[in-house]
Amino acid sequence: MAGLTQLSEVKMFGGRNLRYRHDSAVVGTPMEFGVFLPPQAAAGKVKSVWYLSGLTCTDVNFMTKAGAQRVAAELGLALIAPDTSPRLPADAKIPGEDDTYDFGSGAGFYLDATQDPWSKNYKMYSYILKELLPLVVAGLPVLEGAQHTGIMGHSMGGHGAITIGLKNPTVFQSISAFSPICNPMNCPWGTKAFGNYLGSDQAAWKEYDSCELAKSYDGPAREILANQGTADSFLTEKQLLPEALQAAVQGHPKLTLTLSMDEGYDHSYNHIATFIESHLRHHAKFLWEGGP
């Protein structure tokens, strides 16, 4: 299909796990992404949930570790998993891009960088919204429109899912997150990323902070589902700050947050795999009136 090169295909639960590569005009590099098409896609276009991964991950992590395909096949939901950053070739690497796990490669933070040298390639916000989403809708049996599309993610990707969902309610109907970075303006991961990608002006940071976006949100009603493990070391290190998102949403006329504090679970895909079914059913609730 135009613009997409298929890398692999494997049958699963009557559907198909696929991987694609395409040349991105937005980030300026080839990009890869994963797709699960449920068996219903053989007969026509289907609704979809987009999953944004966390630090160090690629599209492969979710598709191979989360165990989402069984329920997605039952519900008739496509799953779309983008990469987490541009992947620059060796001869075009940005100095420092691969030095740490929490910035640069695998850590695009789902924003559009404004600071050199990152602003040329690190535009994952626009990549997902303006390039990959239209490409998927045009080239795969996936329905277009908010009433057909949800977004979810983990950790950095949970931050991405909530911010992109709140900023684009005409694109995404449903939102959920696992162990999201809820208040990046006030945690070490976020201040490092925002300072380097966006500069020192914290007004620009607010455009990519879930708590700030929640406070100013005036779109259609949204119910956000979030699961957080109590044994998550990043919770105790104050990287995630779910309490800040709770405070930002409390009493909001348009937003509600259902936050489950899951006793004994950590930050890994063991947690995600345990609760992925409830998240997919959450999306189905809002993508279909009363359920599929």
Is 267 a residue of the active site? yes
Contacts of 104 (CB under 8 A, 6+ apart): 85, 94, 96, 97, 98
Say if residues 241 and 147 touch (Cβ distance below 8 Å): no
- The yes-or-no answer on residue 232 being catalytic is yes
The one catalytic residue among 22, 154, 267, 279: 267
What's the rounded Cα separation, in Å, for the pair 237 and 240? 8
Distance between CA atoms of residues 229 and 235, nearest Å:
8
Choosing from 155, 176, 179, 210, the catalytic residue is 155
Residues whose CB falls within 8 Å of the CB of residue 213, separated by 6 or more in sequence, listed in order:
162, 163, 166, 167, 206, 207
User: CA 233, 235, 241 angle in degrees (round to 5)?
Assistant: 160
**DSSP 8-class letter at 183:** -
Question: What residues act catalytically?
Answer: 155, 232, 267
